[in-house]
Chains A and B, each alone.
Chain A
Amino acid sequence: MRRWLLGVVCAALAAAAPIAVRTATPQAADRLDAMIVDGDIGRSGGTLVVAARAEPKTFNPIAALDIPSRDVIWRMQADLIHINRETQRAEPALARSWTVSPDGLHFVLSLRRGVRFSDGHPFDADDVVFSFSAYLDERLHAAQRDLLLVGGKPIAVRKIDAMTIGVDLPGPYAAAERLFDSIAILPRHRLEATWKAGTLGDAWGLGTAPAEIAGLGPFRLERFRPGEDIVLARNANYWKQDRAHTPLPYLAQLTFAVVPSEDAQVVRLRAGELDVLNRVSSQHAATLDRDQASAPYVLRDLGPGLEYHFLFFNQNDPVPAAVRGKQAWFGDERFRRAISLAIDRASLVRLAYNGRGTPIWGHVTPGNRLWANTAIPRPPASASAALALLTQAGFKRGADGTLADAHGTAVAFSILVAAGNAALNDMAAIIQDDLRKIGITVQIAALDFSAVLSRVLESHDYDACLLRLVDGDADPTPEMNVWLSNGPTHLWHPLQARPATDWEAEIDTLMRQQMTTLDAAARRRLFDRVQAIAADKLPLVPLVSPNIIVAAKRTLGNFRPAVLDHYTLWNVEQLFWRAPEGRR
């Protein structure tokens, strides 16, 4: 579970690619080796007000587990190698360049010279070594620690000289560059004492004075008013510049206004009190879209993101007695294929998402431009084809239209769904109606989300479940826990001692191979095969990938939202107000 939630923030990408950034040549040892970024040249000044669903719980990158905290923290921190959310590829950040040994086990990273923390203290290799030591410290239980393990063993980070770092991997890891994304480099001069005292996990809480918090990101903390807002001010020491060598960021202030409900966020956007909404639901998009021509904001539908919604059946062993009788159906791949054929995905998109979604037949969405297998078949919904398949599998329809298995047991099951998610509940009602047409009775059980997870991952007391996963990353590796048969989030049958089926064993092998294969084309073939097996055996029946919809003031320059999180603020240092007057 933690792996996929983490993935939301810790997105990264393996494939090395042409890098769309340039680095200024350093003239002197202490002169800033700035990173030059492409984009419109903007004007400095102004405040951007962004909606936050909740206030952060901490400003400490090591302790932050929740998205509101990370949203704020990542405007104040920076990493060595970063995944460009627009190109989905790795690019230099605090590391201006790097080399990799032929066996892929050893990295040497050259750090950017002349960089200073927001408090003015110089940045060097000691900060990097300190940061990785802290993240890998088992006492701190940092969420990032899992990401820094390869084959269960931690990576080793050593200082070569003041501006050079060596990184040794315990085993081959195809997506090695991506390990560095979202690992914030911490100021040793401020945090080393607390680390030694064993209190680093408690540092930089909400009550910490802003002057005590330092980072290498585009902004620094200026003020936090509980329940109201978090105000960040421009970091004058930031290390990125525009094409005209103007220091970034352009904005003087970035404010996160705490507005818990999406209804209220939309109202405040329309009233001009908010400048950016990082996610707009399809229902709200319909409303905002209607007024768009006359309104000062622009609504952007980015198409499918990396989120996918799917139905899956309980294939655990053992299961509670009530489920046991149905497992012969759930374990039969023809049954799962028939269910997939009977579901009208076009209706799911039209009714549950107002048309702002994409029907999917494979678990890697079209939003993942680098990895989606486009050869996966997309059979249209067909009740008759579904019934033909069920007949092959020994099911029969009675005189009253009810479907029964070979033993004469009527086919009926429940679908578990999180009560608070309107789109998922609508989807469940549509699926219920589609399956009624082939004689299957479905009951919808809407429970609290934590109860849903508990039944799926712990008690295994459910028949089928409608759920969504959010890939925070285009790369396949962060989903290892979902696809490996011994993974804790191998949803339909987690933590298997040995693979229950041949195809799960094959997926295990392929996923492990892709993780260690350094050749990009070979790796692609391996993951294509994983996608093909998953689409054929349907342990998860993929249904819909909802579109990523965002909104912002029309006069916001360089607003280039992306389908990787953070959708709107990933290039916050480049955002600027086109209007000359005042804030906007």
Chain B
Amino acid sequence: MTRLLGPAIGVAAVYALVLAAPFVAPYDPTTQHRDRPLAPPTRVHVIDRDGRLHPRPFVYAEDISGATHAYPLRFFARSSDDSAVGRGSRHLFGVDAPAEVFVFGTDTLGRDQLSRLLYGGRISLGVGLLATALALGAGLVLGCIAGFVGGWTDAAVMAASDVFMALPWLYLLLALRAALPLDVAPARALASIVIVIGIAGWARPARLVRGVVLSVRGRDFVAAASASGASPARVLRSHVAPEVFSVALTQASILIPQYTLAEITLSFFGIGIGEPTPSWGSMMGVMLRQELTLAHWWLAAPAAALIGVSLLYHATADALQRRSLAVGVSR
């Protein structure tokens, strides 16, 4: 359990952060600070140039006359961002104009990397989560039916799963993007990506679930329940579902990072969510320009975030698998 707790808390914290993006992000992710392209991460100080300790962290910035002043960070302050999204909203932290605080620097168009990372996480991680829910939901239903009913139903579902597993999903998505109108809104593009990834991905969980159902069906206690007059629905609910649940949970921890990566791949190649909506993939697109990334290391922030999230998910999947094995052995 302890093995699972750490990564699970980590995953939950990441989701909490991206869900709270409008509050945590200091800026609207689409606001272009056009005089600050590729600005490095802002240095936050607690000790000023005269060696004095400040109770509140601050940043240095020049005023209109060119003189440098210390501007304290303001916590839970109202935004000075004049964009439609940021106007008047409360943020975890910020700083008064003319100072700016870019914790992870800015991109080529002067957009705050931290804000884009948080808002982009909502898209990338959200697609992973929703597509997994769709794929796993469909996989659970079809896998249970195939395993429990058997016969030609089983054969039909398995044949369909073979076809779906053979589909090159990336090309399918490319074809879908080409078929969509050019002015497709971000929400519609997002929905289409989720649906295609979800539909293309049901086959693998369905096969696993079917295998579990078949194995459970053959056990003595299930045969005894059926013989004593329990309805198929009751057998499914009481005996099969608990076995399937742990498999589904492990599958989810494997599929979510996989589908997150799928969204990132699409956006990386410019066929995911369009500008100006951020996604980790579109942010990572800039890394194709090697010289730029080498000279401005903070542009690699979304790649670091992706690695972190993937590691958390792998640790979660690993812990879940160990747990399910342990449960199996104890039974």
A interface list, Cβ under 8 A from B: 263, 266, 283-284, 286-287, 322, 344, 347, 350-352, 401, 412-414, 416, 419, 422, 425-426, 428-430, 432-433, 443-447, 451, 461-463
Determine if B40 is an interface residue (Cβ-Cβ < 8 Å). no
Determine if B184 is an interface residue (Cβ-Cβ < 8 Å). yes
User: Cα distance A253–B271 when bound, in Å?
Assistant: 45
Determine if B326 is an interface residue (Cβ-Cβ < 8 Å). no
User: Cα distance A175–B182 when bound, in Å?
Assistant: 42
User: Cα distance A401–B84 when bound, in Å?
Assistant: 10
Determine if B6 is an interface residue (Cβ-Cβ < 8 Å). no
Partner of A283, one of B181, B183, B275, B289: B289
Inter-chain contacts of A462 with B (CB < 8 A): 182
User: Cα distance A344–B110 when bound, in Å?
Assistant: 15
Inter-chain contacts of A352 with B (CB < 8 A): 108
Whether A429 lies near B183 (C-beta < 8 A) is: no
Partner of B291, one of A284, A322, A413: A284
Whether B291 lies near A433 (C-beta < 8 A) is: no
B interface list, Cβ under 8 A from A: 30, 32, 34, 37, 84, 108-110, 178, 181-185, 269-271, 274-276, 286, 288-292, 295
Whether B291 lies near A283 (C-beta < 8 A) is: yes
Whether B109 lies near A413 (C-beta < 8 A) is: no
User: Cα distance A126–B298 when bound, in Å?
Assistant: 64
Whether B110 lies near A286 (C-beta < 8 A) is: no
Inter-chain contacts of B32 with A (CB < 8 A): 347, 351, 429-430, 433
Whether A433 lies near B30 (C-beta < 8 A) is: yes
Whether A430 lies near B109 (C-beta < 8 A) is: yes
Whether A429 lies near B291 (C-beta < 8 A) is: no
Partner of B34, one of A287, A351, A445: A351
A277 CB, nearest partner CB in chain B, Å: 13
- In this complex, the member of A344, A425, A463 whose beta carbon has the largest number of chain B beta carbons within 10 angstroms is A425
User: Cα distance A428–B282 when bound, in Å?
Assistant: 14
User: Cα distance A422–B285 when bound, in Å?
Assistant: 9
Inter-chain contacts of B109 with A (CB < 8 A): 351, 426, 429-430, 433
Partner of B178, one of A284, A287, A422, A451: A451
23 A-B residue pairs with CB within 8 Å: A266-B291, A283-B292, A284-B291, A347-B32, A347-B34, A350-B37, A351-B108, A351-B110, A352-B108, A416-B182, A426-B109, A429-B109, A429-B275, A429-B276, A430-B34, A433-B30, A433-B32, A433-B276, A445-B182, A446-B271, A446-B274, A447-B178, A461-B182
Q: Which 4 A-B residue pairs are closest in the complex by CB-CB distance?
A: A414-B183, A445-B182, A414-B182, A446-B270
A388 CB, nearest partner CB in chain B, Å: 22
User: Cα distance A322–B180 when bound, in Å?
Assistant: 12
User: Cα distance A287–B181 when bound, in Å?
Assistant: 39
A353 CB, nearest partner CB in chain B, Å: 11
Inter-chain contacts of A416 with B (CB < 8 A): 182
The answer to whether A445 and B37 touch (CB under 8 A), given A263-B291, A419-B269, is no
Whether B185 lies near A443 (C-beta < 8 A) is: yes
Inter-chain contacts of A419 with B (CB < 8 A): 269-271
Partner of B182, one of A286, A347, A463: A463
Of all chain B residues, the one with the shortest Cβ separation from A465 is: B182
The answer to whether A425 and B270 touch (CB under 8 A), given A351-B110, A414-B182, A433-B32, is yes
- In this complex, the member of B30, B108, B183, B184 whose beta carbon has the largest number of chain A beta carbons within 10 angstroms is B183
Inter-chain contacts of B184 with A (CB < 8 A): 443
Whether B182 lies near A443 (C-beta < 8 A) is: yes
User: Cα distance A414–B181 when bound, in Å?
Assistant: 9
User: Cα distance A461–B34 when bound, in Å?
Assistant: 33
Inter-chain contacts of A433 with B (CB < 8 A): 30, 32, 109, 276
Whether A432 lies near B182 (C-beta < 8 A) is: no
A534 CB, nearest partner CB in chain B, Å: 26
User: Cα distance A108–B130 when bound, in Å?
Assistant: 76
Inter-chain contacts of B84 with A (CB < 8 A): 401
Inter-chain contacts of A461 with B (CB < 8 A): 182
User: Cα distance A284–B289 when bound, in Å?
Assistant: 9
User: Cα distance A416–B270 when bound, in Å?
Assistant: 12
Whether B295 lies near A322 (C-beta < 8 A) is: no
Whether A412 lies near B108 (C-beta < 8 A) is: no
Of all chain A residues, the one with the shortest Cβ separation from B108 is: A426
- In this complex, the member of A425, A433, A444 whose beta carbon has the largest number of chain B beta carbons within 10 angstroms is A433
Inter-chain contacts of A444 with B (CB < 8 A): 274-275
Inter-chain contacts of A284 with B (CB < 8 A): 291
Whether B275 lies near A287 (C-beta < 8 A) is: no
A567 CB, nearest partner CB in chain B, Å: 20
Whether B295 lies near A286 (C-beta < 8 A) is: yes
User: Cα distance A100–B103 when bound, in Å?
Assistant: 70
User: Cα distance A419–B84 when bound, in Å?
Assistant: 28
The answer to whether A463 and B183 touch (CB under 8 A), given A263-B290, A351-B37, A351-B108, is yes
User: Cα distance A347–B35 when bound, in Å?
Assistant: 9
Inter-chain contacts of A429 with B (CB < 8 A): 32, 109, 275-276
User: Cα distance A210–B290 when bound, in Å?
Assistant: 38
Inter-chain contacts of B108 with A (CB < 8 A): 351-352, 426
- Kindly list 13 other residue pairs between chains A and B, CB separation below 8 angstroms, not including A433-B30, A445-B182: A263-B290, A351-B32, A351-B109, A401-B84, A413-B183, A414-B182, A416-B182, A425-B270, A426-B108, A426-B109, A428-B275, A433-B276, A461-B182
User: Cα distance A462–B178 when bound, in Å?
Assistant: 12
Of all chain B residues, the one with the shortest Cβ separation from A347 is: B34
Of all chain B residues, the one with the shortest Cβ separation from A455 is: B182
User: Cα distance A432–B277 when bound, in Å?
Assistant: 12
